[in-house]
Chain A
Amino acid sequence: MKNILVSHLRLSMLPNKGLFWYAPIAAFAALLASPQGFAATQAEPIPAKPDQLVFKPFAYVPPAAKDHRTVLKSGVVAYLAENHELPLVNIQILLKGGTYLNPPGKEGLAELTGYLLARGGTKDRKAEDLEERLAFLAAQLNSAYGEDRGTVSLNLLSKDLDEGLAILREVLTEPRFQDDKLNLRKDQTLADMKQRNDSSTDIEQRERSFLSYGDDFYLSRFETKASLEGLSREDVVAFHRKWVDPKNMLVAAAGDFKKADMAARLDKLFAGWPHKGEAAPPVPKPNHALAPGTFLVDKDVNQGRVSILLPGLLRTDPDFFAAAIMNDILGGGGFTSRIMNRVRSDEGLAYSAGSALQSGIWYPGRLGAAFQSKVRTAAYASQIVIEEMKKLRDGDVTDEELDTAKRSFIDTLPRRFSTPVQVVGLLVDEEFTGRYASDPGYYAKYQANVERVTKADVKRQAQRLLKAESVTLLVVGKKADLLNPDPKHPVKFADLTNGKLTEVPLRDPLTMQPMGVGSAK
């Protein structure tokens, strides 16, 4: 265990002396410590129980936007963090806009454009040459459009920063959207589409969208074979010109650079943009109420996947912290939560079980519990989860539960900021979602806002949100067995939701239209 490791490292023996960044691995080895010399030290007494261990009082000041935020000449806001430990630079460009920008009938356009930006070549480089050059630099360039945002990220060695930024500029301003790459991506997307009903996980996720937000909301407008086949290179080019514009961009960069130098380089990246785009409109809001009842999708699998849905909150709600702590005690806290304890630890009914309060950035999210249990105990496990909702609403949480939840919120905050990449990532997210403008001290006040939550606050939120008698319950699994429960626990789904059970047909994977009950498994 001694530092003999160092002797293995003969830097001069390396095949390429230019690879100076081998140093961090050398540091890894050099820092191995030896127990020799410590073993003789007198041991201190250990307490009998782990709760008696005493730790230093917790004091943490989260990173502040003002230490990282800068407005570039182009108006683009950038968050920058220097870190010289490793010779790496990480740059992320956040793009306002997402799949909600897909015009009706052109579902899949944002996804296709996002995928091809970094992978479809540029005006001066074929896709293959770009890939080859990036691979040669061991640089990672990725791009994608998600539901509410796009991202283009570049991770590379700091010595290659000039070349990397030149490539990034080409990719952002002059993407080639090479035909064969575009067609290949469409083929692959179509192949994935054909597999939409293979896994009950996918079916559950999809139907959860339809139940939560209705058929017309953008999250429920899935791409189809027809919409995909209708996408042309011209559509992709038009989408790019319209939305990939500095007025929709934010930057987070961390790593081995000087802040002022990086700001100057980013000014250059955005200067003289060759197209005139538009500012992305805000994310739409759903206009749909959850319908109480049980919704069953018949799929021939021996494990039922269950989602239990309730209306949630906007994160700007004055009681959001109390609601989040309530959810943590219910099922959000993993192994310390009530749902996990009963469903997994006490009853062995599921491998994972829990609940989540969606963050509600743009519109009120959903409060949902979910687990997977063998088909004949899925109704029984659902009953337990609903029971736990009622218990939390009608009873009280213990001091210990409240304290555990609070400690876990407060003490995990530093981990969310544990690398410079995470620091600028979280801060730029505040800017992107508008909270920097409305509540710039969110993280500074975070600990106090958690500490202030009382048992009465938690109870109020439980009473407000846990309408256990009117849940929307979605279950995917083999219908015959779901409706024929284990005789030891003869629970019926319909009884859990006021008698109402609706069978939801599987959807045709290529059209997303219901296939008619019983026509396919």
Chain B
Amino acid sequence: MSPQRGIPLVTVDVTYDVGSRVEPPGKTGFAHLFEHLMFEGSENVGKGDHFRLVAEAGGSMNGTTSEDRTNYFETLPAESLDLALFLEADRMRALVLTQEKLDNQREAVKEEKRLRVDNQPYASSFETADALAYDAFPYKHPVIGSMDDLQAASLDDARDFYRRYYAPANALLAVVGDVDPADAFRRVKNAFEEVPPRETPARFAFTEPVPSGERRQRVDDCHAAMPALHVNFKVAERRHPDLFALSVVERILGAGETGRLWRRLVKDDSLALSLSVSLDERRGPSLFRIFSLARPGVTLERLEAEILGDLSRFAADGPTPREMERVRRLLLSSAVRATQTTQSIAFLLSEYGLYDGDPGLFPHDVEAVLALDAAAVRDAAARLLVAPRRSVVTVVPSGPGESKGPA
């Protein structure tokens, strides 16, 4: 619980320790499909009432599913705290699942997949890039799942999933906003003490083999007009010291139009149309990602060689003092901006609380990153952005109109 005075709002967040990583082969997409079912009504909340009650209170709500967790949250006027607590406790205690709800939401999720992945240029290549980078199934398959697996999901699967993963002790509750802690804890107790304990699943764990060599794959994309390139490196889990160092590398190489790679490849030498660098931090092995669209006339081979050349140079020379100073300022300003809304604070508390057992680690991590020197950053780049950890996906336009090319 984090009291934040000033704006008369409160965010309630319940994060469950279940994400797509727990899905076995044949059951992909289930964690996300289940998230949809959580909005379809519980013992004392009829179908559609969840949305109605939050809307009438002037609130907003949503849920999200990632590889590592599923969260549900409401932001409401602070005096409506009880409503959010009631809704969360009721669906944790007694969700109502029916075949009809499953069928409807299954179809809605398939439409979501058509919308977000199947008909969007480059979207499927991101799925390929994950499948190529990872060996173990948990991170190898996409959160949205496959059409076949979604089709095969049964009501028994849903009931079993709820029993297993939606146990109270598998969740973390965060309350952030304009509340008095004593009063708010009393209200939380009121709402949740009726939820009986259930057996909690064993802590999920999996291992990935040690990265052992470069991997490559080509994707033909019928929706894309421009060739593109993914260069990914499989690295350690979130909060590992290597990841702290890579978060600095990410901001020096990427971070918009002042980043080294963008400046040289997009602006100065006109080899790429766009380029982004991101660190995809996960509870298990994470990915350091580079994604770039090639400029017409520049081959993907050339673009890849140039990117790898720049990475080697960075690994040899490290960051300049000025780059280090810029990144420290950037880190601090983004840390301040990350704590500006009740919702973003709730997310930080929940993830640290659930993953690490200590919701307040965020400032500690900011400090750990700020304490790194240039040598540590260079060392991380030299050890981790290397061929054995690398996977490369080339995306080649294959649409019927593309071979001709626009006039």
Interface, chain A (partner B; CB < 8 A): 1, 4-5, 8-10, 13-16, 19, 21-22, 24-26, 28-29, 31-35, 37-39, 41, 43-46, 48-51, 53, 55-56, 58, 85-86, 88, 119, 128, 131-132, 135-138, 157, 180-181, 184, 187-188, 191, 194-195, 197-200, 300-303, 333-336, 341, 344-352, 372-374, 403-404, 407-408, 410-415, 418-419, 508-511, 520-521
A439 to chain B, nearest CB (A): 23
Residue of A whose beta carbon sits closest to that of B404: A520
Residues of B near A88 (CB, < 8 A) are: 336
Q: Do residues A418 and B339 form an inter-chain contact, with CB atoms below 8 A?
A: no
Q: Do residues B363 and A5 form an inter-chain contact, with CB atoms below 8 A?
A: yes
B63 to chain A, nearest CB (A): 12
Q: Cβ of B270 < 8 Å from any Cβ of A?
A: yes
Q: Do residues B47 and A345 form an inter-chain contact, with CB atoms below 8 A?
A: yes
- 11 A-B residue pairs with Cβ-Cβ distance under 8 Å, sorted by A, are A5-B363, A37-B182, A46-B86, A50-B45, A135-B329, A184-B270, A199-B121, A300-B222, A345-B104, A349-B111, A351-B115
A387 to chain B, nearest CB (A): 18
Residue of B whose beta carbon sits closest to that of A405: B55
Q: B residues 264-283 with Cβ under 8 Å of A? A: 266-267, 270, 273-274
Known pairs A188-B273, A200-B119; list 11 more (Cβ under 8 Å): A32-B1, A37-B182, A43-B190, A184-B267, A198-B121, A303-B118, A336-B48, A348-B107, A352-B115, A411-B57, A411-B59
Known A334-B51, A520-B404; judge A302-B114 contact (CB<8 A): yes
Counting chain A CB atoms within 10 Å of each CB, which of B182, B189, B326, B358 scores highest?
B189
B398 to chain A, nearest CB (A): 11
Q: Cβ of B56 < 8 Å from any Cβ of A?
A: yes
Q: Do residues A5 and B8 form an inter-chain contact, with CB atoms below 8 A?
A: no
What size tier do the contact residues of chain B reach?
35 or more
Q: Do residues B226 and A191 form an inter-chain contact, with CB atoms below 8 A?
A: yes
Residues of A near B186 (CB, < 8 A) are: 38, 41, 43-44
Q: Do residues A41 and B121 form an inter-chain contact, with CB atoms below 8 A?
A: no
In whole angstroms, what is the CA distance A71 to B88 when docked? 49
Q: Do residues B114 and A303 form an inter-chain contact, with CB atoms below 8 A?
A: yes
Q: B residues 357-407 with Cβ under 8 Å of A? A: 358-364, 366-367, 370-371, 399-401, 404, 406-407
B288 to chain A, nearest CB (A): 21
The number of residue pairs between A and B whose CB atoms lie closer than 8 Å in the complex comes to 271
Q: Do residues B189 and A39 form an inter-chain contact, with CB atoms below 8 A?
A: yes
Closest 10 pairs (CB-CB, A-B): A411-B58, A348-B107, A335-B51, A5-B360, A33-B181, A348-B104, A138-B333, A38-B185, A351-B112, A303-B114
Residue of B whose beta carbon sits closest to that of A56: B79
Counting chain A CB atoms within 10 Å of each CB, which of B3, B60, B104, B406 scores highest?
B406
Residues of A near B56 (CB, < 8 A) are: 403-404, 407-408, 411
Residues of B near A347 (CB, < 8 A) are: 104, 107
Counting chain A CB atoms within 10 Å of each CB, which of B51, B193, B224 scores highest?
B51
Residues of A near B223 (CB, < 8 A) are: 198-199, 301
In whole angstroms, what is the CA distance A31 to B3 when docked? 6
Residues of A near B60 (CB, < 8 A) are: 415
B391 to chain A, nearest CB (A): 25
Q: Cβ of B87 < 8 Å from any Cβ of A?
A: yes
Counting chain A CB atoms within 10 Å of each CB, which of B87, B223, B336 scores highest?
B336
